[in-house]
Amino acid sequence: MLLHDTRLALRSLKRNPILSLLMIVTIAVGIAASMIAMTVYSARAGHPIPWKEDKLFAVTMDTRDEGPPPPGLPLRNYEYPPFTLGYQDAMAVYRSDIPRRSVVMYRTGQLVMPERANIKPFYVPVRVTTADFFAMFDVPFRYGGGWPRAADTTAEPVVVISKYLNDKLFGGVNSLGREITLGGRQFKIIGVLDAWMPHPRFYDLSGGGFDLPEDAFVPFEWVRAGKMFPQSISCVRRTSRVVNFESLFTEECLWLQSWVELADSAAHARFQDYVDNYVRDQKQRGRMPRPLNNRIVNVSTWLDMNNVVGDDTRMQVIVAVAFLVVCVLNTVGLILAKFLSAAPIAGLRRALGATRLDIVRQHLTEVVIMGLIGGALGLILSFGGLRLLHALIFSRGLETSDNPARLTLAQSFTHMDFSMLLLAVVLSVLTGILAGIYPAWRIGRLAPATFLKTQ
Amino acid sequence: MIEMNNISKVFRTDVVETHALRAFSLRVEPGEFVAITGHSGSGKTTFLNVAGLLEEFDGGTYHLEGQDVSRLSDNERSRIRNEKIGFIFQGFNLIPDLNIYDNVDAPLHYRRMPAAERHKRITAALERVGLSSRMKHLPSQLSGGQQQRAAIARAICGSPRVILADEPTGNLDTTMSEQIMELLQSINAGGTTILMVTHNPELAQRAHRQVHIVDGRIDQIHHFGTVQRASAAAGASA
């Protein structure tokens, strides 16, 4: 019966080609708009490390001064404690033995002096971090590995470099044991990363989080030994100022990300107590005047707190879906007109023995087919639209970049994966059914005799 | 075969009530050929629609082959239309974008009949009406007479017990009308009951009985012949 209905549907579509095309294009445009918005949303809303959702936690403490929020700052954000810690507090967290792993880190930029004369010196983003970084975030290595915990306190001159840097400096060969000049100092390469692109770069969301990981990773003690200034500092007390390098360690200024890996919920509870008790102790010493507001949050909550998806992206999806609804409503009118114009044939079929369900099913099949054709066309339009978005927005300025990972990152925003393709098919069928259910029901309810005399 | 007692049918709008059938009673025997006549608006087509279960009625009783059809569900009415009743219309009512074969196939499809059985019936019906060579043609490629013959093939392919024909020759010239009439008489001779609405008194006289309707009531009944027992018992045949 489905085959029969499909044949009838295709014939019916051919009977009014212009009207059919109009309906298909209406559905296609609605689906294309939705798919483009949802693809961009999906790229931003993905979980970068779902298998560690209940293990990884960002650590925050409310170290701010008392008083109302500064003008212009969204209140939602003001509820949250700052997303970075000062040196003293970060080290207190790091000293706890409750976490299985613990990381204190920040981002900086350093000049690389290549050995090869044909490569000019260039800046690379560098992460100064404690040793657990690689194991905690499941960073893949191509060659070698990270450094031992002891290297964090002795400023050992070792470095882990990215695949890009290894490709650029050493042509992609195994460079373990070789040295690079970073910020004027020699570092021995002990690890080379494989392609790694957490999306978003959740462990440090400064600048929005949609950027590549750093190209060099050095032990944490290099903050002092190398005087590697952080890229981002925010001072949370009115009297605090960073006037020189040493004031990074003494002033109430925030520049360190702190992450812990906890074994289970009991460990989380104990660690929360540990942080709360530390803050209570600090209050007694005249610091942290605000009420307790220490949040130890998993990656999902962390991304939400940082509004990684972005209100604009959410709004785009809402507008696109609303547009699809408008397209569906327009299609309902067109389908109703089309079906009613063919009502005599439906009446004839009823006279010949078709039940109401037969008629409704036959007409629904037609709109579902129309939805699928509209969906296929919508997908083609989506691919075109995403390519355009990629060219106009996401890949702008990449022409000069020699890092292929940047292009991959840019493409990830407009890449339609299998789940999105599946969503497009579901959306097409759903659109067809929603647009056609009322007209099909109406045509099924018509008395069979109504149009027979006029057919 | 058909037994209607005191059937009434009223069409209502906001401002007017039209009594299309009033205390309409009629008994039709199996194998009978009954011509229904009357002026326009007298209720002929309404009677045919009620008889064909295309329209419900407001009062009275209607038994088709002994079955009370007044309380049937819509699905049961569809099944009876499909299995027991064949329709022939003045305007042929063929589906324009289906070829003749597929047009004849339509009622069999709704019966969920196996494809082989359908094919056998369709070819037999088209052969009977002389359209074997036209089965792949679209209705628009056929003459009016051929289209009506295709409609007759569609009506008889399901071996219905009764055929309801609403002015089947109304759109045809004299020669074509004669051919269609002969075809209907031949089908009736095979035992299929036929109720035919017509304006043509000559065609009406070729039926066993003429029922004349005025204002939704039977005004006169004329008998022209009797049903042959043998053919009445034979049932329908395609």
Interface test with B, best of A352, A359, A446, A452 (most B CBs within 10 A): A352
> Does residue A352 sit in the same domain as residue A288?
no
Report pLDDT for A453. 60
Q: What does DSSP say about strands B193-197 and B209-214: parallel, antiparallel, or unpaired?
A: unpaired
Are residues A208 and A255 both part of a single domain?
yes
- What is the residue range of A166's domain? 50-305
Q: Is the peptide bond before A344 cis (omega within 30 degrees of 0)?
A: no
Q: Is residue A454 part of a domain?
A: no
Q: Which residue of B has its CA nearest to A7?
A: B98
Dihedral pair phi/psi, residue B34, rounded to 5°: -115, 125
Indicate whether A211 and A285 sit together in one domain. Answer: yes
Contact (CB<8Å) B81/A453: no
Q: Report the candidate in B224, B184, B177, B234 with the shortest Cα–Cα distance to residue B200.
A: B177
- How many whole angstroms separate alpha carbon A191 and alpha carbon A151? 14
The interface pTM score, or ipTM, of the predicted complex is 0.89
User: What domain range is B76 assigned to?
Assistant: 2-93+160-234
Q: Mind listing the pLDDT tens digit for each residue in A117-161?
A: 788 899 999 999 999 999 999 999 999 999 999 888 888 999 999
Q: Which residue in A has a C-alpha nearest to residue B157's C-alpha?
A: A352
Asked whether residue A189 is assigned to any structural domain, the reply reads yes
Q: Would residue B180 count as lying in a domain?
A: yes
Per-residue confidence (pLDDT) for residue B184, from 0 to 100: 93
- Check which CATH number belongs to the domain holding B14 and give it: 3.40.50.300
* Chain centroid to CA B53: 11
- Picking from B49, B107, B112, the nearest residue to A449 by CB comes out as B49
Q: B166 vs chain A: nearest CA distance in angstroms? A: 9
Which chain A residues contact residue B49 at CB under 8 A? 449, 452
Quote the distance between the C-alpha of residue A161 and its chain's center.
24
Is the CB of B111 less than 8 angstroms away from the CB of A353? Answer: yes
For residue B7, tell me if it sits in a domain. Answer: yes
Q: Do B75 and A356 touch (CB under 8 A)?
A: yes
In a domain, B185, yes or no: yes
Residues 6+ positions from B28 with CB-CB distance below 8 Å: B1, B2, B3, B34, B162, B193, B195
- Mean pLDDT along residues A266-291: 94
Q: Counting one residue from A and one from B, how many pairs have CB atoms under 8 Å apart?
A: 69
Which residue on chain A is closest to B151 by alpha carbon?
A: A352
Q: How far apart are CA A148 and CA A164, in angstroms?
A: 24
Sign of CA dihedral A452, B124, A355, B66: positive
Across the interface, of A352, A452, A453, the residue whose CB is closest to B110 is A352
Closest residue of A to B160, CA-based? A352
Residue found by looking up tokens 């045919």 in the block:
B48
Mean pLDDT, range B128-139, rounded to an integer: 93
Q: Are residues A29 and A83 in the same domain?
A: no
Angle made by CA atoms A324, A328, A333, in degrees to the nearest 5: 150
Backbone angles phi, psi at A147, to 5 degrees: -110, 160
A410 domain-assigned: yes
Q: State the Cα–Cα distance between residues B10 and B6, nearest whole angstrom.
A: 13
Q: CA B142 from chain center: how many Å?
A: 22
CB atoms within 10 A of CB A184: 9
Q: Are residues A277 and A297 in the same domain?
A: yes
The verdict on A295 and A171 lying in the same domain is yes
* Per-residue model confidence (pLDDT) at position B224: 79
Min CA distance, B145 vs chain A (Å)?
A: 17
Asked if residue A453 is part of any domain, the answer here is no
- The model's pLDDT over A224-261, given as tens digits with 9 standing for 90+, comes to 988 899 988 888 777 777 778 888 898 888 999 999 99
- Which residue, of A261, A288, A305, is where some domain finishes? A305
Residue A173 has pLDDT above 70, yes or no: yes
CA distance B153 to B127: 9
Number of domains observed in the structure of chain A: 2
Mean pLDDT of B152-159: 93
pLDDT tens digits, one per residue of B3-43: 999 999 999 888 888 899 999 999 999 999 999 999 988 99
Query: Does the beta-carbon distance from A1 to B112 stay under 8 Å?
Result: yes
What is the C-alpha separation between A409 and A403, in angstroms, rounded? Answer: 10
Residue B141 CB-half CA count within 13 A: 11
Q: Are residues A261 and A372 in the same domain?
A: no
Last residue in a domain, options A280, A305, A330: A305
